[in-house]
Amino acid sequence: MPFHITGDPKADQALEEPFGLLLGMLLDQQYPMEHAFRGPAKILDRFGTIDPAAIAAADPEEFAAMASTTPAIHRFPGSMATKVQAVARIVVEQYGGHAERIWTEAASGADLVERVEALPGFGRQKAKIFTALVAKQAGVRPGGWEKAVGDYALEGYRSVADVVDPDSLQRVRDHKKAMKASAT
């Protein structure tokens, strides 16, 4: 299923690569969602690939410099470059360089949440959102995924997992804005 998260078809296409989708979710913190999910396309354009093995093997200083080039891949490009490389190493070492194995080989929704939560930069909430994203958008539904992700499995416009077109993107933005306003 094609993604419609960034507002840029080329950047959305980079999310169709499993590692690109994982990186987009990694970068989705303290940064607007659309910009975060454009990060994999920026890496692809500048680095030439989003292959986890190549990223894991890259010189950390050179990779951080690439990530910091304007427009940077994230608000905090240096620390995110480090996390991107750390996730790439795990994907190479534990999943043979195939990020999709994280979700296609998960025994259950709870197992998938645990696998994602074990990655650098992914906490419990983000792991649940990513599990819902994979289930809803990529159609990979390990057993019990709805229970594992809780409210993120519901119909609505709560997170990136619910973005399928420009209208739903706006509804997710509106929901996030309302949540932020109610928290203050």
> Which residues does 170 contact at the CB level (< 8 Å), separation at least 6?
none
Would you say residue 117 has pLDDT above 70? yes
CATH-assigned architecture of domain 9-183: Orthogonal Bundle (1.10)
pLDDT tens figures, 144-176: 788 888 877 777 777 888 888 888 888 888 888
pLDDT above 90 coverage of the chain, percent: 62
Rounded to whole angstroms, what are the CA distances from 25 to 62, 119, 130, 136? 23, 11, 7, 15
Q: How far apart are CA 105 and CA 98, in angstroms?
A: 11
Residue whose structure tokens are 């999709």: 100
Cβ distance 142 to 103 under 8 Å? yes
Terminal Cα-to-Cα distance of the chain (whole angstroms): 37
pLDDT above 70 coverage of the chain, percent: 99
Q: How confident is the model at residue 59 (pLDDT cuts 50, 70, 90)?
A: very high
Q: How crowded is the C-beta side of 18, counted as CA atoms within 13 Å?
A: 17
Does pTM surpass 0.85?
A: yes
pLDDT tens figures, 27-36: 998 888 889 9
* Poorest-pLDDT segment among 82-86, 93-97, 122-126: 122-126
Q: How far apart are CA 114 and CA 17, in angstroms?
A: 22
Mean pLDDT on 65-69? 96
Mean pLDDT on 103-119? 94
In this prediction, residue 1 carries a pLDDT of 59
pLDDT tens figures, 7-43: 899 999 999 999 999 999 999 988 888 899 999 999 9
In this prediction, residue 23 carries a pLDDT of 97
